[in-house]
Structure 1
Amino acid sequence: MERMRRRRRVKWKRVFMFLFLLMIIGVGAYSAYEYTQGVMLGKEGNNNAKKAYAFNGEEVKFGKINVLLLGSDSRGEEHSRTDSIMIAHYDQNSHKAKLISIMRDTYVDIPGHGKQKLNAAYAFGGPELLRKTIKENFNIDVNYYAVVDFKGFSKIVDIVAPDGIKVDVPHEMSSGIGMVIEPGEQVLHGDKLLGYVRFRHDNLSDFGRVQRQQEVIGKLKDEALSVGTLVKLPKIMGVVGSYVDTNLDKSTMFSLGKDVLTKQSGDIKTIRIPVDGSFRNETFDGIGAVLRVNLDENQSAIDKFLAS
């Protein structure tokens, strides 16, 4: 009798192992298929060549990670400027996610180029010079970079939020975005949501655009926390490979994405630099309108924000 019980236990262990292996193979095959679908989607209408930038940020295997996020609609120019400059901060121990938006017209000292608008650093020397500029002026150590093509943003949005994102448009938006977005509460999909976050021709100018960018990123994260989005992660990674230039390797990106989606890290805390009351508007010949900032006050605000 005891021998028969042992045989049954061995039999069920083998059945369990077989089913477990089938599940692993199935998940792997599904992930590979979804990743391939994402790559194919990313290649549709995308003629921009991928760029490999030199970048000397300190690599972090585990802990607090700062990623320089840059939004660009470059058509392949060698020296384009960047529309949006953000630093995504993620603590893998506490699972807290934070976002620092730095105004592109912030007047800073760019190493080797003197006083200029912050986004000129990217035009002069790509992500690496921008990293150095941010370190020199705001004392933030950036570890990695990701340059996001805006067409890729639209496609990623439609994967993460296929039913769109609800926003309240304060007034008609049209100038400079190639479309018309009517005022009022409505649901926007990829292309129109991109227009919403890029619009700047109103009385809030870039300040309104930064506010909308932070709003949409927070709402996208809420969408991403659904179970369905974790399943879509391989497909998103496939699209990202076509539209994002980054020095983050795929395994690290997947790990960070999975971590954020499964750890329920809560709302993304945000800050805009310069903070209120720490800057004044000025205009310089050959440069244009800038924000002259109190660097000490903004460095303190960043330190307090990251420590909280």
Structure 2
Amino acid sequence: MAVKKRKVRWSRVFVALMILGIFMVGLVTIFQYIEGTYKAINQPFKKAEADSFQGESDTKEEVNVLLLGSDSRGEKSARTDTIMVAHYNPQSNNVKLISLMRDMYVSIPGYGKQKLNAAYSLGGTELLRQTIKNNFELDIHHYAIVDFKGFEKAVDLLVPEGIEVDIPYEMSDGIDMTLEKGAQLLHGEELLGYVRFRQDRLSDFGRVQRQQEVISKLKDEAVSLNSVTKLPEMLDLLHTHIDTNIDSPTLLAIGKDILTNQGGEMQTIRIPEDGSFENTYQDGIGEVLEVDFDQNKEALEEFLEQE
């Protein structure tokens, strides 16, 4: 009696192999993520400023992180190139960004009236925290000092295809490169030059606008690419290029929440706000911004209360 041969349906075999392949890739991705997370959590950040920093670190509510980009070349008393406060709400996953103009004429505890960015060179992150609290009634819970090389690498890791910006005019002075006018797709090194360019026709106000623009776009691009699997690698990179008192598990949790829940468009504010300051000159200090502190404290309060 002849045995009837079964016809092999190769289409079904192909589909089954594809499903198996996808499953295996998924398992490998999950394993790599877990392994990377474990390594990142067990690798401590640099905490050069942590011993002196007195911000409340165990808050369970909204968190304010002092973000600094220092223009240090190794000297001990460098002033800050960038002063921002990132506000994170764990309930809504919203991130808000406050840019503080470094030339604001403020009272620095123990040193009298100076530019805001002098506080860091005089007393590090703790004196800067005290200065912000005393002048603007804004509590700071954590700090993070960013190494500019780390910024470049983080951009290239999260957004390897670059970020598009519209450059208003040629930029070259002081950034060791030339950025042409017009729409440009910039990678890490060029993007850093874009935000650090000092000879802006809007003076330091233009630079603050570019900083806010780039951080907002970086956050949006990272979310759109679903970069949560890159978080362990990002943490590993930041361990080398960031000084912060935020522990790895907390930073990992915040990053995962932002990337997976999105939380909407990042809101930004610049302090001082328009109409609340005057440009003046102080002997021995130079040009400063004389600020209406009451108006700006009210603006900050309203900004942070917005949903």
Q: Normalization by structure 1: what TM-score?
A: 0.85
Structure 1 residue matching 2:80: 3-state secondary structure:
coil
Give yes or no for the alignment of 1:27 onto 2:30. Answer: yes
Change (3 A) 1:90 1:148: same
C-alpha separation in 2, matches of 1:98 and 1:205: 24
Q: How far apart, CA to CA, are the structure 1 residues paired with 2:69 and 2:27?
A: 37
**Shift in Å at residue 29 of structure 1?**
4.2
Once residues 61 and 31 of structure 2 are traced to their aligned partners in structure 1, the CA distance between those partners, rounded to angstroms, is 28
| Partner residue of 1:51 out of 43, 48, 60 | 48
- What displacement does 1:74 show? 1.7
TM-score, normalized by length of structure 2?
0.85
The structure 2 residue matched to 1:118, chosen from 108, 116, 119, is 116
Matched pairs, number:
277
Q: Taking structure 1 as reference, are residues 177 and 255 closer, same or farther at Cα in structure 2, changes over 3 Å only? A: same
- Once the two structures are superposed, the pairs formed by residues 1-308 of structure 1 within 5 Å of their partners are 27-33=30-36, 51-53=48-50, 54-308=52-306
Residue number in structure 1 paired with 2:8: none
Q: How far is the alpha carbon of 1:75 from its aligned partner?
A: 2.3
Query: Matches of 2:199 and 2:59 in 1, distance apart?
Result: 41
Q: CA shift at 1:195, angstroms?
A: 0.5
Cα drift, residue 25 of structure 1: 8.8
Q: Secondary structure at the match of 1:242?
A: helix
Give distance in 2, aligned partners of 1:112 and 1:64: 30
1:187 aligns to what SS in structure 2? strand
Conservation of the 8 A alpha-carbon contact between 1:36 and 1:235? no
Deviations 1:117-146 (A, max 9, x none): 000000011110000000000000000000
Amino acid at match of 1:137: N
Q: CA deviation at 1:24?
A: 7.9
Q: CA deviation at 1:224?
A: 1.2
* Distance change in 2, residues 1:289/1:251 (3 Å): same
Q: Determine if contact 1:67/1:146 at 8 Å carries over to the other structure.
A: yes
Task: Return structure 1 stretches of 4+ with deviation > 4 angstroms.
Answer: 23-26, 28-31, 33-37
**Matched AA of 2:187:** H
Structure 2 counterpart of 1:10: none
8 A Cα contact 2:226 2:260, kept in partner: no
For structure 2, the 5+ residue unaligned runs are 1-22, 41-45
Contact kept? 2:104, 2:291, Cα under 8 Å: yes
Distance of aligned partners of 1:73 and 1:31 in 2 relative to their CA distance in 1, 3 Å threshold: farther
Question: Cα RMSD between the aligned structures?
Answer: 2.2
- Cα deviation, residue 223, structure 1: 1.1
For residues 50 and 252 of structure 1, what CA distance do their matches in structure 2 show? Answer: 15
Larger radius of gyration: 2
Closer/same/farther in 2, CA of residues 300 and 78 from structure 1, 3 Å limit: same
Structure 2 contact 96–268 (Cα < 8 Å) conserved? yes
Structure 1: any 5+ residue segments left out of the alignment? Answer: 1-19, 38-48
Q: CA-to-partner distance for each residue in 1:94-133, whole Å, 9 max, x for gaps?
A: 2221010000001100000000000000001111000000
Shift of 1:194: 0.3
In structure 2, relative to structure 1, the CA distance for the partners of 1:34 and 1:158 (3 Å cut) is farther
Equivalent pair of 2:71/2:79 in contact (CA under 8 Å): no
